[in-house]
Amino acid sequence: MMEWETVIGLEIHAQLATKSKIFSGAAIAYGAEPNTQACAIDLGMPGVLPVLNQDAVRMAAMLGLAIGAQVAHRSVFARKNYFYPDLPKGYQISQYELPVVQGGHLTVDLEDGSSKVIGITRAHLEEDAGKSLHEDFQGLSGIDLNRAGTPLLEIVSEPEMRSAKEAVAYMKKLHQLVVYLGICDGNMQEGSFRCDANVSVRRKGAPQFGTRAEIKNLNSFRFVERAIDFEVERQIDLIESGHKVVQETRLYDPDKGETRSMRSKEEANDYRYFPDPDLLPLIVDEAFIEAARAALPELPDAKKQRFAEQYGLSGYDAGVLTVSRELAAFYETVVASLGSEPKLCANWVMGDFSAFLNKENREIADSPVNAEQLAGLLRRIQDRTISGKLAKDVFEAMWAGEGDADTVIEKRGLRQITDTSAIEKVIDDVMAASPDQLAQYRAGKDKLFGFFVGQVMKLSKGKANPQQVNDLLMEKLKG
Ligand code: ADP
Ligand code: MG
């Protein structure tokens, strides 16, 4: 069997979280009434001039610093010319030869626990186009220019990913980073973070890359994985049946699970890039870069490493807890509030707490149980007021709004029984009620120990301290 190698490079568009557009003062307001958020500049009226939004540059610089790139002291905006109804000027302002961010890399965590460094070629600033609306217009198309002029940062990777899973891991890592940095809301459904995937295949060991296809506008991690997997199969089939891959742009159809040709290289646009005469070169001085550096939060990798060291957590746990700044902050508040046992805190934040959030699709900010309240519950496990098992019921009640841990424990009478004589009393009752099992146990049927534990826990409504039950039973069953 012939061995194939997949080669993938991603171009990711992150919509920058500025208040206004990149070259005008119009607001960015997703979901607003069509054509209410576009001013004369966004509409491409004659005689108007673009003015660069400094906040977009600051955000680009933050990304550059976070990926170890060069933030260019001088970069240039260029016109990318093409005709499309949602592009009123007839050109998109982008950066071409001299982008604001050059080089850089991202360390990506793979499923097998290893990591891989993926090179980043560049990141450039550009404006988004408007949107064509194809529904509700009886055979015509509507145009909504609210999105026109929205700032985008296009982040271009080196062709260094070797599987769909690696590509998804890279995309997730970049997504996490831009959201951490606060430069992008990361909302993929609304198109704030989307990806064009360049895919080719070659025989293992071949000195050169194969011809690539570019799959446009993938807006979910799942689609990226499926589209690439489909495309790899398609290209391998083509070559193995004696055909050639043609360089082209393709679209992924999620309903059919396949990619389709959109335009081939011959039909490709010649964008006739040239420097935009309406915009001066972008000059970024050292002070500006230093200010951006000072605004950087603790980055995901650094936070993960600190969590592992400071709290004695595994790399896996540290990774889960630092997946977002919000979850990490929540965890740290629980630990600070409890004051000990960071591993117990980790188990609860990653376990029941996250499970309840996910189940109800809630943000941490509107969780019904806050960090101090969760710590309050853990304190009652620690001081053995309740068992870890009953704590799950208490947590559920807290989530349902029944009050804090102590209130629920009192109200429901869940306080753990740690009084030896009380537990012994229950054990005596159980032994008296099960003479056959007792005889069998004493005749050597050790397995029945579990039966007695179960009976004692049942009779005590789960409240007997499990460790004490074990110890006392061991003694008493001996006779
Ligand atoms: P273009 O200017 O046509 O967009 P680029 O050279 O900028 O092309 O590359 C765009 C993306 O395609 C980059 O992410 C790059 O890593 C990727 N790429 C380039 N060649 C290949 C290839 N043969 N197979 C897969 N990806 C590729
Ligand atoms: Mg490109």
pLDDT in tens, 269-294: 789 999 999 999 999 999 999 999 99
Ligand 1 in contact with 209 (CB < 6 A)? yes
Lowest mean pLDDT among 8-17, 115-124, 265-274, 420-429: 265-274
Question: Is residue 204 pLDDT above 90, yes or no?
Answer: yes
Question: Is residue 2 pLDDT above 70, yes or no?
Answer: no
Q: How confident is the model at residue 325 (pLDDT cuts 50, 70, 90)?
A: very high
Q: What is the pLDDT of residue 1?
A: 55
> Whole-angstrom Cα distance, residue 404 to residue 306?
31
- Ligand closest to 212 (CA) is 1
Instruction: For residue 166, give every residue at least 6 positions away whose Cβ sits within 8 Å of its Cβ, in sequence order, or none.
Output: 8, 108, 110, 116, 118
Average pLDDT of the chain, as a whole number: 95
- Ligand closest to 7 (CA) is 1
Ligand 2 centroid – CA 293 distance (Å)? 28
Query: What predicted TM-score, i.e. pTM, was given to this entire model?
Result: 0.90
Q: Which residue, judged by its Cα, is nearest atom 7 of ligand 1?
A: 156
The single-letter DSSP state of residue 76 is -
> Whole-angstrom Cα distance, residue 88 to residue 210?
37
Closest CA to 105 of 154, 173, 195, 58: 173
Structure tokens at 80: 């990318």
Question: Is residue 333 pLDDT above 80, yes or no?
Answer: yes
Q: What is the pLDDT of residue 467?
A: 87
**Burial status of residue 275 (CB atoms within 10 A of its CB: 0-12, 13-18, 19 or more):** middle
Lowest mean pLDDT among 58-62, 178-182, 304-308, 436-440: 436-440
> Whole-angstrom Cα distance, residue 230 to residue 164?
10
> Whole-angstrom Cα distance, residue 63 to residue 441?
67
Question: Is residue 417 pLDDT above 90, yes or no?
Answer: no
Q: What is the pLDDT of residue 328?
A: 98
Q: What is the pLDDT of residue 384?
A: 86
Q: How confident is the model at residue 442 (pLDDT cuts 50, 70, 90)?
A: very high
Question: Is residue 7 pLDDT above 70, yes or no?
Answer: yes
Ligand 2 centroid – CA 237 distance (Å)? 26
